[in-house]
Each structure stands twice: as C-alpha cells, then as structure tokens.
Amino acid sequence: MAKIISKSFPLSQFKNLNTRKRALLASVLAVALLLILVISGFFMGDNGLAVNLDAQNNAPSWKHPFGTDWLGRDMFVRTVKGLALSFWVGLLAAFLSALISLVLSLFLIVSKAADSFVTGLIDLFLGVPHIVALILISFMLGGGLKGVIIAVALTHWPRLARLLRAEIKQIKNTEYITASRNMGKSWFWIAQNHILPHLLPQLGIGFLLTFPHAILHEASITFLGFGLPSEQPAIGIILSEAMGYLSSGMWWLALFPGLMLLVMVGIFDNLGRNLRKVFDPLKGQKH
C-alpha cells in the first residue's frame, strides 16, 4: 500500500511544488481540519455535558480522552463544543470588524475631513490596550454573547483599516480612476467597480488574520468573567473553572482545552499566511 501511495504522489512531487502551490495545499488541509472540528461540535450529542457524579474527576482514558471534571462531565465533549462556539463568535466578530474596516477606509475618497476623522479614530483605538477596551465595551453592553461579539468587532478593525487606506491611496490617483472621474462617474461607482475589486484579496486575508485574535480575546475576557455566561460551554469558562482544581492535581481540565484552543488559533493563522502567499505573486514564485 505504501508503494502504491508513493507511486501515485511521491514526496518529491510535493517538494517540487512552488511556494504558491504548497501554500494552497496547506490552506485546503487547514480548511478541512476546521470543518471537521466545527461540524463535529454540532453533531456531537449533549450526553457528555450532563452531570454524572459516578464519573467525576476521572483522569484521561480511552472512554474519556480528555478526562472528566468535578461534575463528571466529559471534557472532550465540552472542549469540542466550546471550540465550535468560539469559532462562530470569532467568525461573526471578525466579519463585522472587516466590514467596519472597509467602510471607514472608503471615507478616504469622500473628503479630507472624513479621512482625518477616521485617522484620529484609528489612532484612538490603537492607543488603548485591546484587553482594556474589550472589557469596557463588553461591560457597558451587559456582557453575554452580544456584548462579546460587539466588543471584539469594535476593537479589531483599526489595523486592517490602516492597511486598506494605504491600498486606496495607491490606486486613488491612477490613470483609470482619473479617466472615470473625467467621464463623470461618481465616487460611489468608482468604489464599487474599481476600488472594491482591488481590495477584496487584502480584505479576505485581513479577515482571516483577525479571526485568531478574535478567538483569543473572546476567550480572554470570558476567562476574566466579562464575556460569555457561565452556562455556555466556552473555552474561556472551561479554563476559568479549571483554575480552582489545578492545585488538586486535575491538570487535564486546563491542558487539553488550552491546547485545542491554540491549535485552532494556529490553524487560522497559518491559513491566513498561506493565502497571503497565494495572492502575492512575489512570494508565490518558485524558490
């Protein structure tokens, strides 16, 4: 079997792939892993979340790969469902953040006053530490799922907006945009037909690179008690609850959820960086 596989796709063929093709292959594998992780969280039953005092504080075993907690709940089920919840929270927050970045960056073509306002807004948000702004916004909105999503979305747009503004500045005075203006086309038409198609690759990559930050910050404020409610099987809640039991030797309560969170964040970060190589012709050249 190994010979058949090696003949059908030898390792030398993979090594001979250029950077863009290797990055694309790695991106496909990353998407497949994420889909398996998220879909399994939805199809997995809630039996493992039920209280079972006969199985409490069990170390990792074949029956419970991640062990059980002080209430006998299966930590593997709680971790997978927590990652699925973090995925959707991060997805929505990153999408809203990317949308805010796009809208505010387009103010550059409206007027100098509007662009100056956006520039000051970017400097203001970048001058405040993320975690502080997250806690303040989430607390003002009453916490919960809505508060976390809005807080993450409102604190992760400035860097992407600054990148998009730089792209718009480069193409604003190009010949084809000047010709469109001389033909009487409005800035709205130019933004829709000339600027947006140019920004879509950067916007997509920025969205993917914002995703891991959104997931980590959601878990951070939830861990501190300013995020999702305690009845939600979120990773931040799982880690927060596990802190009180580490001194009792129940190391598995924090180790496996923390590792799985890092794996998910690493997959998204790797996906964004690989897609950047795919869309960047200079980095995509064969070495």
Residue 154 lies in a domain: yes
Q: How confident is the model at residue 32, as a pLDDT?
A: 78
Residue 59 token pair: 């170390």
Residue 285 lies in a domain: no
**With pLDDT > 90 as the criterion, what percentage of the chain qualifies?**
2
| Highest-scoring range by mean pLDDT, 6-15, 93-102, 258-267 | 93-102
For residue 74, list its beta bridge partners.
Answer: 68
- What's the rounded mean pLDDT across residues 152-171? 86
Residue 251 lies in a domain: yes
- What's the rounded mean pLDDT across residues 89-114? 85
Q: Any idea which of 20-29, 96-105, 206-215 has the lowest mean pLDDT?
A: 20-29
How far apart are alpha carbons 226 and 228 in whole angstroms?
7
**With pLDDT > 70 as the criterion, what percentage of the chain qualifies?**
84
Q: How confident is the model at residue 11, as a pLDDT?
A: 46
Structural domains counted in the chain: 1
How far apart are alpha carbons 258 and 266 in whole angstroms?
12
Domain span at 105: 69-279
How far apart are alpha carbons 105 and 107 in whole angstroms?
5
CATH number at residue 159: 1.10.3720.10
- What's the rounded mean pLDDT across residues 171-183? 76
Burial code of 160-181, b = ≥16 C-beta within 10 A, e = fewer?
Answer: bbbbbbebbeeeeeeeebeebe
Q: Which residue has the higher pLDDT, 70 or 230?
A: 70
pLDDT exceeds 80 at position 284: no
**Residue whose structure tokens are 């991640």:** 66
Residue 9 lies in a domain: no
Residue 214 token pair: 């959104």
Q: Which residue has the higher pLDDT, 59 or 230?
A: 59
Start-to-end CA distance of the chain, whole Å, equals 32
Q: How confident is the model at residue 96, as a pLDDT?
A: 92
Q: How confident is the model at residue 249, as a pLDDT?
A: 81
Q: How confident is the model at residue 280, as a pLDDT?
A: 60
**285 band by pLDDT with thresholds 50, 70 and 90:** very low
- Report residue 74: phi and psi, to 5°: -70, 120
Residue 89 token pair: 């929270």
Residue 110 lies in a domain: yes
How far apart are alpha carbons 151 and 89 in whole angstroms?
11
Residue 60 lies in a domain: no
pLDDT exceeds 70 at position 222: yes
In one letter, which amino acid is 129? P
Residue 42 lies in a domain: no
Selection from 148, 12, 10 nearest residue 89 by Cα: 148
Q: Any idea which of 9-13, 165-169, 245-249 has the lowest mean pLDDT?
A: 9-13
- The model's pLDDT over 12-54, given as tens digits with 9 standing for 90+, comes to 454 545 566 666 776 677 777 777 777 776 667 666 677 777 8
Residue 2 lies in a domain: no
**pTM exceeding 0.75:** yes
The overall average pLDDT reported for the chain is: 78
Q: Any long-range contacts for 236-245 (C-beta under 8 Å, 24+ apart)? A: 237/82, 238/75, 238/78, 238/79, 238/82, 241/69, 242/69, 245/69, 245/70
